[in-house]
């Protein structure tokens, strides 16, 4: 008698769960991401792991799960808790002592080369007062918002965020330090999804933004860009000192605009000298990551928004080699 009375209750409890499980099994994107499925008083509840998904994919998965479960007979409400494992991100700061040495060009091409080497890469344009990554990466798309987070836009396999995508050129110039630092925070804490490396293109010099980055987000290391000229090297030394003082490991130095190959006769001349940065790196005990030649291709490509590291010319090989050395240093 007692077991006959219990039977309908058991069926009532278990059947919707089976139907809910069957509905989830028909969603390939939900495979391995769902746990804690429960059904009580017409409400289906469950946890969906959205780790590693972009904001769009998360919304898509949540909607698909909600839609599938809502169709099961007896379900009046669907409660979904989204969880995401925190991705450990490696921040690489790219700095220089002064402007105009090609730091942004190197940062962009390095990010593209790292992505081509199979890494999931984000590029943060931290030059709040003079953003140039939208131009160099050919990416001026306006980022969307996912809740309170800004969602990076992608070009050449690299996700990117720059203040230049969010405000009119020049309008950030009026911002005071705290506002610039808060803007930097919004960029770094954007919705980077499963990006494992963030390349941060710092403003030139040793100001507030550099300090904020180092104090709050602790980069795994810094790359210094310098031309072979002595003057740039003296400036570079200041940037190096700052990273040292803040205990940010120096991953290496890149010598940019090193040697110019004439596009007509092929003769190589050295308008800024050559080898100066490599020699200085040795003296300062910093690894040397490579030399980027001064080429018309690089200059034009930057203006046209096509980073040469994404192509298959000589420059692409140069940046691929620098990215390789950098990855070796990161794992050393």
132 binds ligand ADP (CB under 6 A): yes
As separate numbers, helices (DSSP H) first and strands (DSSP E) second, the chain gives 10, 14
Distance (Å, rounded) from C-alpha 178 to C-alpha 168?
Answer: 19
CB 256 within 8 A of CB 102: yes
CB 97 within 8 A of CB 234: yes
Choosing from 96, 153, 155, 162, the residue that interacts with ligand ADP (CB under 6 A) is 96
97 binds ligand ADP (CB under 6 A): no
329 binds ligand ADP (CB under 6 A): no
103 binds ligand ADP (CB under 6 A): yes
Q: What are phi and psi of 21, to 5 degrees?
A: -60, -40
- Minimum CB distance to ligand ADP, residue 225 (Å): 7
DSSP 190: S
Q: Report the residue closest to ligand ADP, judged by CB.
A: 102
Distances (CA, A) of 129 to 118, 133, 228: 32, 12, 26
Q: Which is nearer to ligand ADP, 74 or 100 (CB)?
A: 100
Question: What residue ranges in the chain does DSSP mark as E strands?
Answer: 34-40, 43-49, 77-83, 90-95, 121-125, 144-146, 149-151, 153-155, 158-162, 197-201, 221-226, 250-261, 268-269, 288-294
Choosing from 105, 153, 165, 274, the residue that interacts with ligand ADP (CB under 6 A) is 105
Interactions with ligand ADP, residue window 172-231 (CB under 6 A): 204
Q: Which is nearer to ligand ADP, 192 or 319 (CB)?
A: 319
Q: According to DSSP H, which parts of 172-227 are helical?
A: 177-188, 208-217
Interactions with ligand ADP, residue window 275-314 (CB under 6 A): 292, 294-295, 298-299, 302
Distance (Å, rounded) from C-alpha 172 to C-alpha 311?
Answer: 33
Q: Which is nearer to ligand ADP, 54 or 302 (CB)?
A: 302
33 binds ligand ADP (CB under 6 A): no
Q: Which is nearer to ligand ADP, 238 or 299 (CB)?
A: 299
- Minimum CB distance to ligand ADP, residue 136 (Å): 7
Distance (Å, rounded) from C-alpha 330 to C-alpha 323?
Answer: 10
User: Going residue by residue from 241 to 280, which x/- string records binding to ligand ADP, judged by CB under 6 A?
Assistant: ---------------xx-----------------------
Task: List contacts with ligand ADP (CB under 6 A).
Answer: 96, 99-105, 132, 204, 256-257, 292, 294-295, 298-299, 302
């Amino acid at each position: 008698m007692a077991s006959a009375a219990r039977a309908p209750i058991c069926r009532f409890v278990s059947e919707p769960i089976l139907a809910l499980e069957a509905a989830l099994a028909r969603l390939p994107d939900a495979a391995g991401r769902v746990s804690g499925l429960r059904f009580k008083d017409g409400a289906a509840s469950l946890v969906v792991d959205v780790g590693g998904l972009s904001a769009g994919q998360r919304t898509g998965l949540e909607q698909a799960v909600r839609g599938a479960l809502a169709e099961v007979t007896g379900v009046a409400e669907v409660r979904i808790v989204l969880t995401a494992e925190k991705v450990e991100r490696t921040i690489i700061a790219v700095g220089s002592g002064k402007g105009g040495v090609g730091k942004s060009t190197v940062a962009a091409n390095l990010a593209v080369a790292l992505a081509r080497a199979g890494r999931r890469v984000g590029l943060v344009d931290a030059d709040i007062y003079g953003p140039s990554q939208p131009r160099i990466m050919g990416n001026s798309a306006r980022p969307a918002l996912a809740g309170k987070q800004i969602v990076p836009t992608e070009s050449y396999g690299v996700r990117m965020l720059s203040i230049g995508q969010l405000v009119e050129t020049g309008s950030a110039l009026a911002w005071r330090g705290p506002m610039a630092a808060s803007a930097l925070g919004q960029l770094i804490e954007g919705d980077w999804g499963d990006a494992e490396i963030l390349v941060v293109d710092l403003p030139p010099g040793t100001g507030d933004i550099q300090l904020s980055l180092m104090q709050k987000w602790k980069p795994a290391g810094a790359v210094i860009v310098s031309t072979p000229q002595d003057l740039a090297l003296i400036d570079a030394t200041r940037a190096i000192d700052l990273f040292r003082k803040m205990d940010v490991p120096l991953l290496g130095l890149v010598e940019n605009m090193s040697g110019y190959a004439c596009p007509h006769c092929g003769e190589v001349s050295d308008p800024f000298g050559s080898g100066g940065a490599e020699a200085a790196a040795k003296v300062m005990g910093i690894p040397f990551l490579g030399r980027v030649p001064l080429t018309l291709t690089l200059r034009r490509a930057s203006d046209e928004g096509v980073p040469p590291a994404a192509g298959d010319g000589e420059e692409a090989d140069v940046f691929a080699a620098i990215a390789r050395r950098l990855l070796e240093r990161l794992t050393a």
